Structure 1
């Protein structure tokens, strides 16, 4: 909200002075959106890659800042208040609009790798190796999209893809990482 205050300069002309109330903590709003979408502090923490305690503290700080509750807390569940839902909807819409605008401008996220890959490969090979990568490169965020049985990643939504195939993807540089041995498995009674 803006308030207008009048002041005079040396020539006696009235000048408008705008004062602006401070925006709420944007990281807190990001946490609020995640909690509202997941309906859980714990699931929001998992989605954001932070602790449940950090999520709880961010929500509490926002509630103090707004001067009212964003959630009703029960023994094993939470319920968003109507005010909390309105703020979460507004913040979520604003973040989505910013993200869409940046994507349309083809502005890559800073220090982010968008990886597209086969779900089994990611689970069995990549995920066990991620902690070492994260320790070596703590400022790089990895955004992973897993798929099942898709050999052609969606256009423009990734920086790197790990998929099954022999290559030949137009407009892409590709390199074989490994070979895959396929063999039948059957119960002993079939032999």
Structure 2
């Protein structure tokens, strides 16, 4: 599946361009993962070219199986070579016919606080419900650790409602929040 998504610019934010990750993303990925805040909230470290290649291979395999549909989020620019990596959004599925899937995201340090995460999350949410409703997708779940307050704000901005606290379980050391959004969530 070769999918690209666009998020229009707003008066206060640039347009976003979302596309599947590719081999050209090695250096931007390594650069993004130099950020200690990003490393704090993610499970797969990317510290070297080898780590980046392995991470990108995981994303490629995810598209092949349909179980991990991950998009590189770029701040748009008229010249594709000038697009700057701003983050990642992903939808994780365990197979067709499932009524729910999980979404996740991270934002590069330079892009935080500018609405990139909620707008990218909104884009993948709309796309997921449009594409997978025919397979029975009715709900998307977003999970984060209770002490990740920024993720709580992103979830709320993207209309993912708090559902419950989940107890800590490996690999997560703290309790978590489960936010949910249904296909029929009003605008």
Fold agreement, TM-score > 0.5: no
Higher helix fraction (1 or 2): 1
Larger-Rg structure: 1
